Amino acid sequence: MADNTPSLIINAPAILLVGKTGAGKSTLGNLMLGTSENENPTFLVSDSFSSATKKCVSATYNIGDEIYNIIDTPGVFDTDDLDEEILKEIALTIQKCAHGIKAILLVFEAKRFTDEQREMIDKIMLLLGEEALQYMISVFSHCNKKQTENPEYFRKSCWNDPIKAFVNSAGGRWTISPNPDYFPPDNTVRQERLQDLEKIIKSMSGIYTTEILNKARKIQEENARIARKIENRRQREHDEILMREGEEIARANYEMQKADDERIANENSNKGFQVLCQILGSITDAIFGDQRNRCFWPETQVKLESGRIIRMSELQIGDRVLSNIRNGIAEFSDVYLIAHIGQLRLTTTHYVFDENLSITFAKNLRPGETKILVSVDNKLVPVFVDDVTNEWHDKYINFYTRAGSVIADGVLCSCYDHCPPSQTLMDLVFLPVRWWTRIIPSTHREERLHPYVQFLETVYLSFINAMKKSKRLIES
């Protein structure tokens, strides 16, 4: 089944173990690798409430003929002491995932789905991107014997609505991590649950990557190219000296040159590592930083045609909201669709209008550089963004006006998010549902995504994944 070897396969995809401290990440890793927690475990297991995994630990893992790097991540998503050392461990994790991620095993206890778990998932998605959900497998730990022996009983009798919603949002992929105290290595239930996990991993198509993972891969490839070039030069010099002065002098010169070359290679590697740390520094500042600003959460305010200022959570189908200001004239537009209302939704990929009426992701706004349009005295005035922070909330609302825009908290925003960066294109894409809702008004107002919007999102994500696969094939 699994094969645990001491070395990391540099160009192999990664399987990430993530979860809160004490959730059972390291235990699951040891189970997969067939190593004992009591006798020389691959991954250390904590006996306390503090994380035993402060270092990024990895090993190779075989599923059939495929080789992966299984990586036990530091307890960064719930740590109380995020510092330079933890940041370095995250950078090391990124390095080990440079050739993409096959699966993200999110390990959490078989209890109610808590706000802390929601917050942790938000942090993971801020670090790895929202599409990471498409490669996530929910792994329930600390299950009792009956739950482990009968997963269907566990699903039907023990899942609450938040757990169901999250598992569904992650593609419905889930399994149980068998408790080694109940199920010894030769136990059939233990073997069946681990085989369940392997089957899910094998069934997942593609490899997930991000801009920062690609950056890490390119750094590794460049360092490897330089190392090969230096090795070839060193070997040529050895052969020349061997012919002129003999084996002893040639070998001594080779070893001396090798030591110098390794020092230079380490320096190059450290430079690449520092680049990753700098990039991660800005990302982790966003993840763990200040949480003040509001962006399209239910408390965001909009203005109705009647002059009333209301919260987005109070919006109803048919309400006419301020959607634009042209030549000093306020324009109001009908709310014709509320796509969904619920929890666990990030808004970093929501679009806002810049001074040129082009749309840009909220996450791409740059303080002191980007100008956005703000409503002042019945005019839209371009002003510089003075501060940007990332945050997460436990509620959200997603609605559409017929104009495709809305002035939210005084800022001109698009109603569209996580889509191609074209307001005109998105207006055309939503044209059918705009027509349909004139005939039959929408009554949709729930956490489940509106079917038409769900269809568009699925098509768009499939297209993005196909483009990424094509790009990887071209590059390789």
Q: Pick the more confident residue, 299 or 284.
A: 299
Same domain, yes or no, for 191 and 226? no
- Asked which of 189, 209, 229 is the last residue of a domain, the reply is 209
Q: What is the pLDDT of residues 32-42, one digit of tens each?
A: 988 866 666 66
Same domain, yes or no, for 398 and 455? yes
Token pair 């009792």 is found at 144
Mean pLDDT, residues 106-116 taken together: 76
Report pLDDT for 428. 93
CATH number at residue 133: 3.40.50.300
Same domain, yes or no, for 142 and 65? yes
Q: How high does pLDDT run on average in the chain?
A: 79
User: What is the rounded CA–CA span in Å between residue 56 and residue 180?
Assistant: 23
Report pLDDT for 58. 81
User: Does the pLDDT of residue 377 top 70, yes or no?
Assistant: yes
296-315 residues labelled b (16+ CB within 10 A) or e (exposed): bbeebebbbeeeeeeebeeb
Q: Say if 156 falls within a structural domain.
A: yes
Q: What pairs with residue 360 in β-bridges? A: 352
**Weakest mean pLDDT among 34-38, 309-313, 420-424:** 34-38
Q: Say if 421 falls within a structural domain.
A: yes
User: What is the rounded CA–CA span in Å between residue 74 and residue 85?
Assistant: 10
Q: Pick the more confident residue, 130 or 276.
A: 130
Same domain, yes or no, for 36 and 133? yes
CATH number at residue 355: 2.170.16.10
**Total tally of structural domains belonging to the chain:** 3
Q: Say if 32 falls within a structural domain.
A: yes
Q: Please, are residues 86 and 123 in contact by the beta-carbon 8 Å criterion?
A: no
Same domain, yes or no, for 39 and 150? yes
Strands in 320-326's sheet, in edge-to-edge order, are 320-326, 329-342, 396-401
Same domain, yes or no, for 78 and 138? yes
Same domain, yes or no, for 126 and 36? yes
Q: What is the Cα gyration radius of the chain?
A: 27
User: What is the rounded CA–CA span in Å between residue 415 and residue 427?
Assistant: 10
Same domain, yes or no, for 205 and 221? no
Q: Please, are residues 64 and 84 in contact by the beta-carbon 8 Å criterion?
A: no
Q: Say if 380 falls within a structural domain.
A: yes
Mean pLDDT, residues 193-201 taken together: 94
Q: Say if 296 falls within a structural domain.
A: no
Domain membership of residue 89 as a residue range: 14-209
Q: Say if 295 falls within a structural domain.
A: no
Question: Residues 6 or more apart from 148 whose CB is under 8 A from it?
Answer: 154, 176, 178, 179, 182, 183, 189, 193
Same domain, yes or no, for 340 and 428? yes
Assign 145 a pLDDT band (cuts: 50, 70, 90): very high
Report pLDDT for 292. 35
Q: Say if 2 falls within a structural domain.
A: no
Mean pLDDT, residues 98-110 taken together: 88
Q: What is the pLDDT of residues 12-30, one digit of tens each?
A: 898 988 887 778 888 898 8
Please give the C-alpha separations between residue 76 and each of 4, 87, 91, 95, 386, in angstroms, as whole numbers. 25, 8, 12, 16, 29
Task: Indicate the pairing of strand 329-342 with strand 350-353.
Answer: unpaired
Of the candidates 394, 465, 455, which has an alpha carbon nearest to the alpha carbon of residue 166?
Answer: 394
**Range from 76-80, 340-344, 432-436 that averages highest in pLDDT:** 432-436
Q: Say if 19 falls within a structural domain.
A: yes
- Asked which of 288, 317, 342 is the last residue of a domain, the reply is 288
Assign 48 a pLDDT band (cuts: 50, 70, 90): very low
User: Does the pLDDT of residue 191 top 90, yes or no?
Assistant: yes
- Asked which of 209, 224, 239 is the last residue of a domain, the reply is 209
Q: Considering all CA atoms of the chain, what is the largest pairwise distance in Å, rounded to the nearest integer?
A: 96
pTM of the shown model: 0.55
Report pLDDT for 285. 52
User: Does the pLDDT of residue 405 top 70, yes or no?
Assistant: yes
Same domain, yes or no, for 360 and 254? no
User: What is the rounded CA–CA span in Å between residue 409 and residue 400?
Assistant: 16
Report pLDDT for 149. 94
Same domain, yes or no, for 102 and 248? no
Q: What is the pLDDT of residues 214-253, one digit of tens each?
A: 888 888 888 888 888 888 988 998 888 888 888 888 888 8
On the CB side of 9, CA atoms within 13 Å amount to: 19
**Weakest mean pLDDT among 67-76, 193-202, 225-234:** 67-76
Same domain, yes or no, for 283 and 311? no
**Range from 90-99, 122-131, 161-170, 270-279 that averages highest in pLDDT:** 161-170
Q: Which amino acid is at 297?
A: W
